[in-house]
Chains A and B, each alone.
Chain A
């Protein structure tokens, strides 16, 4: 019996998550839409994510550019540094964005909703006839999706600039060849996929954060654990999504 309950617990969690995600999707077109909350959350997520995204993008980019360029220079193909930067951009941009949106945005969402849950504010909302999914979860999920797309644009820009400077000024690549090689393997399709990835990642991370937040139990330690689980599950979701989308892109 005990074994069965411990076996079914993760399944209950997964089922609850999908149920909430479906409810949220069904509620998306339903009025009234919490416009004010949406803008507040957009501003909030952008504010907590922007600086870490910049701080994370630069070393990540330089690390990738450095590793790839060492290889290219050894082959005598240092002028193709731009190609490496293009591949790095297509792969790194959405990943860095979502590491930040999950690490900064989703954790903050989870902490906020979790604190409200254990103060029974969500139950109070339900008593007042307000659906917390509609008034709290939907605007947060939408806001995280929008901000993830916008952030991935900024991160891509930084990725390009940083790898250009690193390749040209430190590893002595030719600037013209860098720019010419940029689009050798990376095309418009990759950029579209990049934005689709960013949007899906942002949505997945914020859904995980919201689910963990509204299903918190057990006081302050519970909120801390929920935030911890949010980070773990959203990172796992990110890696799986990334592999699947990349495979689908090349498979088609």
Chain B
């Protein structure tokens, strides 16, 4: 005999399916509400919690704990884009020499780095370092009931914790993106010239001819949009973490997954909207 006291309902399978849908729908609604509230509270954050924003900017750019020892977020971003730029040199030079036009490696660097690698890499690095760090911090605060304590003390917890982090993330991403672009250009150039022995004049000629400055600005805007999305997702998962120490870790994992997918989606939609079907190449100049 079963020991449960509630009688079984009719159509249990249908009911479970339905409640699953409703649960998912409610979760999406809750997330949207949180994002809206976070964005709306930004004004509060700027007015009331300036010191906290400055503190977070310092913390995010230099990193905390073990990350600070290896040089913080700036070094991680530079490192990731450096190796991606080297990949452009390796892949671009070899594939192009396969069809006899390895002189165009500089063009590939100017085109692929700007449109594809720099924004995507900056997004990935941002999600991994600043984003995951924010989730871990907020999750630990939630588990230790520090967020409830903030609310009790009359501090607007969303503005104080989430909005400040989104703002700080957007400010930090500006120098980070510059580091990303410079290091990917430098790595592609060094790899092609020093390792594969192409003459620097050939590389620089094609690089400078095909580098489009407006594209650089657009990809900068794309990165900022990605930063906003990533920080919103990561603060949400941290703010709503539950289930003890393991729960914090799981929240970080789920946040990284969600933010990677949405960051790449934002990048794609941005590219489709901005660049359209034209390459804008300086072919005849």
Contacts and interface: CB of A to CB of B under 8 A. Distances in A.
Contact of B252 (A111, A185, A240): A111
Nearest to A104: B257
Interface string A212-252: 00000001111111111101100110011011001100100
A17 interface: no
Nearest to A220: B245
The contact size tier of chain A is: 35 or more
Q: Is the interface of B mostly helix, strand, loop or mixed?
A: helix
Contacts of B79: 236, 239
B240 interface: no
Contact of B94 (A73, A226, A250): A250
Nearest to B243: A115
B140 A224 contact: yes
A59 B136 CA distance: 27
Contacts of B257: 48, 52, 100, 103-104
A98 B36 CA distance: 32
B143 interface: yes
Chain A interface, >50% SS class: helix
A106 B69 CA distance: 22
Interface stretch (A23-31, A63-71, A124-132, A147-155): A63-71
B279 interface: yes
A46 interface: no
A223 B279 contact: no
A63 B249 contact: no
Contacts of A222: 245
A203 interface: no
A66 B268 contact: yes
A247 B135 CA distance: 36
B173 interface: no
Interface residues of B, number: 62
A224 B139 CA distance: 7
B261 to A, nearest CB: 5
Interface in B63-113: 64-67, 69-70, 76, 79-80, 83-84, 86-87, 90-91, 94-95, 98-99, 111-112
A215 to B, nearest CB: 10
B128 A62 contact: no
Contacts of B125: 235
Interface string A44-68: 0000100010011001101110110
B38 interface: no
B222 to A, nearest CB: 11
B233 interface: no
Contacts of A64: 116
Nearest to A118: B245
Interface of A: 6, 9-10, 13, 48, 52, 55-56, 59-60, 62-64, 66-67, 70-71, 73-74, 87, 91, 99-100, 103-104, 107-108, 110-112, 114-115, 118, 171, 185, 219-229, 231-232, 235-236, 239-240, 242-243, 246-247, 250
Given A228-B135, A239-B79, 15 more contacts: A48-B253, A52-B260, A60-B268, A63-B264, A74-B278, A91-B87, A100-B260, A104-B257, A108-B249, A111-B248, A223-B245, A225-B136, A231-B256, A232-B128, A246-B90
16 contacts: A10-B69, A55-B261, A59-B265, A73-B279, A74-B279, A103-B253, A104-B257, A112-B249, A171-B277, A185-B99, A220-B143, A220-B144, A220-B244, A227-B132, A228-B129, A243-B84
